[in-house]
Structures are given as C-alpha cells and as structure tokens.
A and B are shown apart, each in its own frame.
Chain A
Amino acid sequence: MKLNKTIFIIIISALILGTEAFTTLLGQAVPGKDENIPFLVTFGRHGETSWGDDDFYGVFFFSIPKDYTQQFYIRVFDPDTGGENDEIQGEFNTRCLFAVYGGKGVDPDKNEDSKGLLNGLNYKGGNLLASRIFGSEPRYDNKYYTFGPFNPTSGDFSSKWNSFLFKIVCEGISGDDGNLYRYFLSREPENNLPVEGANAFTYEYTFRMWNDFKSVAHIYPYVDTGVIFIRQRNFDWDNDGHILVVSRYKQGIDVPISNEDDWQESRIGIELPEIGSSLDFQFHKKQGDLVKNNNVVVTLESQRGDALPFFSSPIGGVPVYQAKIKVTQVKKPK
C-alpha cells in the first residue's frame, strides 16, 4: 500500500513538473525561445549610450488574435533595477516606467511614431491601460510583476495581422543603471500560459549578449512584400564578433559590426523567395577575450525607409539555410 502511494505521488509530481515545463516552453516569451537572448535592456536616462542603449527606452508590441476572447496578462520578469541580473553603475539609482497601451494609436502601421524609433516622437501613442514605476525593489528581483487583466478588444485592431495590438514601453526615467528584464504574454496572472496564435515584435531590439563564446543569439525580422533590400544598423557592438544574416537562401552574410558607442550599417539584398518569411540575424561573439555584459541595439529598414519588425516567434518558423547544388557538364580539359 505504501509503495502504491509512493508511485502515485511520483506520477502526480511528474505530471505537475511536466505541465510547468510545457507552459514555460510555450509562453509568449520576449525574448523568444528561438532568439536565445538572455535579457532585454533599458538604461536609466542618465546612463551613457556607450553602455549599449541608444535611447533609454524600449517598445514591444503584442498581437492577440482576433478570435481570442479571453482576458490576458503581460508579465514582466525582474522589472526592478537592482539585484543579480541588472547592470549597476556606481550604485543602483534607476527607476523604470513600464506602461501598457491599447486602443487607437498603438498600431505602428497606422501610427509611425508608435514604433519608437526616433527620440522626440510620441512613442506612447494609444490609451494607457496600466503602468508602474520600478526602482530597486528586491521583491521583484528575479520575480514577475503582472500587468492586467486586459481584454483583447481594448487593443488596436490590425487587419494586417487580424489581431488586436498592445504595446508595452519600458522607459528609464531616472538613474544610470541598466535594467535587464523579460516579458511574457500569458493567459494567467501567476503562470506563463501562452495565448495561442499571439506574438510579440519590436522595431528596435536592445538586448544583452551572453557572457560566453558559444551561445549564439538570434533575432528574426520579417520581410514584407515589396522589400528589395534591407539596411541593417547596429549600435555599440564593441566589435564583439560577427553578425551573420541567414535565410533559406543565405548561408550567412557577414555584415559589418559597430564598435563602442557608434552605429554601423550595411545593405543586404533580398531575393524574391525571401519575401513573406523571416531572416535570421545571428550574433556570434568574438572568440578570445570575452566581452562581458555587452548590450547592443539593432534596427532594420527597407529600401523605402520602413522599419522591419523583429518577431519573438519567427513568422514562417526559424529559417534554415537550404544548400542548393547545381551540376553542369563542362568541356573536358585538353
């Protein structure tokens, strides 16, 4: 009898653990699982751009499918600036404002300012649904803060994505430390349960690189119709390795990378079959002397100057290069 009880407990425990693992895997994590990025980064507005944040705010959009009618939550992991994950400059004195927006003015296709690409523009367009300022608060260190619940219909409807769009802005309103955090879009306030079909995207990716040589970070821009070439811009790369652009048709184009506190840009041609799919920007760290706590910024725009969105879950899946061998008979050498 005792044995049966033990087996029962083990099975139940396994089921609970398995469910937890499952939900964690499938949550709309930002950064996404395939991106393999440890943290998003926003510095306090008194920080130095050479520390890896060009504008001291970060904007992310969440898309909720039209047919999803339940309430949802936006959870922020480690929203405070203090503790083990965040980047201290002297002493922690940074306060960050997290604000969730919905309604008209959020959709970046209708409101260019909403993308948050240029300082001085009103990237806070939309209806403020929730906000909170976080300083150095140990109770949120390595823990979640949950915004919501939100009703999907309180978002800004995008017919392009057939989804309601929401936006979360992290703004370093004071101080000079780096706030490292992650987002999760969830059906529940206390667990990370994914909203089926939901996604997250941004137009300027500011993130923390891994502190090891082998981990390769990825971001997945979506190439929309009409794109002939893209112009990539990267900031404050500290000459830390290589950026390879990969698609089904590109095995890895090595694009120029920036140094300390500067921008570097280049142009990448887009082939017709790449339209309507995602590219894979791979970030390979420099081998040799480890560049630690490297924070970087990446943006992309088309030949028309339109910014390309980076999706946390790559649209069309992670692009895998397909080598193509062509064999042609040639003249026999004499």
Chain B
Amino acid sequence: MSKKSLYIICLFIIINASFSLQAQKPSIYKVTRMSFNSGIFSEISPVIVKDGIVFCSDRKFSSIKDRTSFDGRRLYNIYIAERKDTSSWSKPEELKSERSTLFNNGPLCVAPDGKTIYFTSEIETGKITKKRSFKNHSGIFTAELSGTNLVSLQPFQYNNQQYNVGQPSVSSDGKYLFFASDMPGGQGGSDLYYCELINGQWSAPVNLGPKINSPGAENFPYMHPSGRLYFSSNRPGGLGNLDVYYSALTFGSWEDPVLMPEPINSASDDFAFIADQNMATGYFSSNRRRSDDIYMFASTIIRKSECDTLVENNYCYELIEENAVKFDTLPFRYEWNFGDGEKGIGPAVEHCYPGPGSYLVQLDVVNLITKEILYNEKSYNLELKAVEQPYISGPDEGTAGQTIKLSADNTNLPGWNIARYYWNFGDETIAIGKEVDKAYINPGTYNVQLIVTSEPEPGGVIRETCVCKNIIVMR
C-alpha cells in the first residue's frame, strides 16, 4: 500500500469518526413544521397569543381574490391560527385593518395587555405610493385588537420616510420596545434598536451596539421574559444566511451573541424566533423548505417548572439553659459537652456540628460558691439529619470559561434506588451523572436544576425529585 493510499484511508477514518461523534451528540430541540403553513406562500413571524398563534403571511386571500401592492408584489397580512388541541390548529383567519388591502401588515408583536398590537406596515399611504419611482419605507404602527379587527391605528413617533423601522418586540414588562431599522448611524445594514417607555412616551431609539449589531443585517428581535434577546443575523459564523442568535444584558453590557443550535438554525434563513416562558416550546420561521414557513420547536431538555430550592444542610445550633439566661449574674458556670468532642461555656452557647448524627449534649454546672460540680445536670439527645433532597455540591460562583465541578454525592434520599442524576445547567445545556463538569460561556446568573429519578419500584412507580440553585458566573 502506498503512502498516499494510507493517508487517504486515515483521513477517511478520521473524518468518518468525527462525523460519527457529531452524529451521536443528541440535539436538544425537536422541530416540527406547523400544519397551517401554506404550500408555496410565506408564513413568518409567529407570535404566541392566548388562543393560538398570530403570524404574517402573503398567502392568497381566497381562491378567487388575491392581494398585491401597486407594483404587483404580494402583500403580507396578519392571521391568527387557533389551537384546537395539542396537535391541530384551526384554519388561519385574517386580522383585518384599514391597511389590509393595499399595504403590508406585519411582522408584529402583542403588548403585555394582550390587546395592543405593534405591527409593521408602510409609512406612506397617499397617492404618491402609486408612483413606480416612489420608494415607500416601513414603520411601526399600533392598533387595538377588537375581535378579528385591528382598529385605532397610530403611527410610531420615530417612523421616518427616509428609512425603515419595523419588526417590533415589546418586553414582558412593557417598558422596552425593540425593533429593527436601517436608520443612519448604525453598524451597517439593518440594526437593532430599543426605546424605553418614560412617562408614557417612548424615548429616542438607542442602537444596541456593536456586540449585537454587525456590519450585516440584524433583525427580528424578540425579548424573552427571561431577559434574553433573540434575533436573527446573517453575520459570519452562522450556519448560513439568517441565523437565530441570543444575547443577554449582563452587568450593563450585552454578551457576545450565541448561535442557536441545529435544528433551529440551518443553512437557510432561520429567523423570527419566539419561545414560551420556560423555553420548553416555541416557534420560528425558516425557508429550509420551498418557502418561508413557521416551525415549532420543543426542547428535549428536561427543565422542571417546579423545583425546590436547595436547602443547605445546617447543623448549627444555639443551646440555652433557659432558666439560667433569665438572670444576668448567677454564681454558676455552665459547661456544655456537645457530644462531638467539643465543649462550650456559658448559659447560652452556639455550636456547629460536623454533620448528621446522634449527639448527646450534656450540661455540667459548676457552683462557683461551693466549687461543687453538678455533672450532667441535664442532658439532651440531639438527632441531626440531613435534609431529604438531592444535593448540589459545587461553587456558588465561577468565571466565564472556567470549568466548575458539580456533584450530587451528598444527595440524601433514604429508600431511593437512584437510576439517574440529570443536570440542567440553566443555559440550555444538560449533563447526566453523579459528578459533572460545566463551563459557562457567558457571565450571568444560572439556575441549575438537579433532577433525580429512581429505578422503577414495585408497581412500576418511578419517583422523581428536583432541586435547584443559582450559580453566578462572573466575567
């Protein structure tokens, strides 16, 4: 065999091996294309509402009617698909406005009050828009949702005929409005901005800065209730075209955006990401098939909505000779034998025991007048038990990039035959095992969950319990 052949074989093995390793890494998201997507038309920018999903589509209005702009382009309008059950959706119904027939409507967001809609549409609606040479720009508008109608339309005060403003996202507290704009002074292309609601007025737009905005295009911002800002960008380093990234404001500055993993991102355009409160499910748009479609994702990560906060085992006690402490000066000395080899003096003492166990506390009293020692004047049997819970041993703080060790060794679940220790690190990563290593990429406060599952018990019952603790990761 020639050296060249050997080299090719080795290379093939290495590539194959690395591919196999990659293939073994399970995805933490499962993606499903929504059933209400049309075949060839676009469905984009989903918004979760109480009864279903509101989205934008340039689909045919009906088999007879269609909507296009003056220059023949298909118009996007707003639709709602109501959830019929856990897997099926009603036929989308249009949310109409006075702009529906001639202008684009959407993308949009719903304010925390559930009634106010912020949506994107063209700014100019006059006759001038019919001129072929006229370039209209998009702006943000608000409307009130009345049944399936959008009424009382109002333009956003920072709409400008010179540039585009759109794709609004209002924070869950209603205080911040994020949007995309190609207004001058940005980092290039479309950038993300925010306005703050001060005394009922939106402040002047603020560019989110170079950490978020690249020379490429950033758009489709979505501020998750957790404080994470999801957005799409075509910056280098993604999987191709538009990809979904997220970042968070930590200690006053935005962290480096993190690329969402496959299969949320793909080589196609992936954008307009939204998620529920727990990041367990959500939606995004992608043109990974023929057209822009809405996809649902479900996290395969187990994250408990109810998880007990880790209770630190505390074996520190105050021991008081109750009658003695009532008097300032008594001619007695109180000598405590704590039962663990340690001693203390005084009518009231504090002692921390090394751990759970049975300790016989004995109190000797010395009469300072007679010098008589009353041995074991009183005794107390102190039974100390560790809290029955899974236990997370590990640091409370760390630094970004540093590997920290977490252990479930001190778990105290008497009677449990434990099958699995499952760690959710709070950054959409997991691990399984009694002792695990973790390195956080970004600073922040992460809520780590340790979920312990038992082997099946007689009758097939599997017990499961969860504790959590926060780990602060510094820069």
Contact = CB atoms under 8 A, between A and B. Distances in A.
B175 interface: no
B369 A244 contact: yes
Given A249-B323, A332-B352, A244 B331 contact: yes
A329 B311 CA distance: 14
Interface string B165-187: 00000000000000000000000
Interface in B356-394: 361, 363, 365, 367, 369-370, 377-380, 382
Nearest to B371: A287
A330 B369 contact: no
A95 B471 CA distance: 92
B314 interface: yes
A133 interface: no
B190 to A, nearest CB: 50
A332 B355 CA distance: 12
A254 interface: yes
A60 B220 CA distance: 103
Interface size range on B against A: 20 to 34
Contacts of B330: 251-254
B350 interface: yes
B380 A327 contact: yes
Contacts of A327: 317-320, 361, 380, 382
B352 to A, nearest CB: 7
24 contacts: A251-B323, A251-B324, A251-B330, A252-B332, A253-B327, A322-B323, A323-B323, A323-B324, A323-B377, A324-B321, A324-B378, A325-B378, A325-B379, A325-B380, A326-B320, A327-B318, A327-B382, A329-B314, A329-B317, A330-B317, A330-B318, A332-B314, A332-B315, A333-B316
A250 B329 CA distance: 12
Interface in A304-334: 321-333
B312 interface: yes
Interface string B316-349: 1111111110010111100000000000000000
A325 B331 contact: no
A333 B318 CA distance: 12
A244 B377 CA distance: 18
A306 B360 CA distance: 46
Given A331-B314, A333-B316, A325 B367 contact: no
Interface size range on A against B: 20 to 34
A325 B322 contact: yes
B343 to A, nearest CB: 15
Contacts of B367: 252
B316 A254 contact: no
Contacts of A252: 330-332, 367, 369
A328 B380 CA distance: 12
Given A251-B330, A327-B318, A332-B315, 7 more contacts: A242-B369, A251-B324, A251-B332, A254-B369, A324-B323, A325-B361, A329-B314
Contacts of A242: 331, 369
Nearest to A284: B369
Contact of A324 (B314, B322, B365): B322
For the complex of A and B, 8 pairs with smallest distance between CB atoms: A323-B378, A324-B322, A325-B380, A326-B320, A326-B322, A330-B318, A254-B331, A328-B318
A250 B323 contact: yes
Contacts of A251: 323-324, 330, 332, 365
A332 B312 contact: yes
Contact of B319 (A322, A325, A331): A325
A326 B365 CA distance: 16
Contacts of A254: 329-331, 369
B365 A323 contact: yes
Q: Looking at A252, A253, A284, which has the most chain B CB atoms within 10 Å of its CB?
A: A252
A217 to B, nearest CB: 13
A52 B312 CA distance: 65
A242 B473 CA distance: 64
Contacts of A331: 314, 316
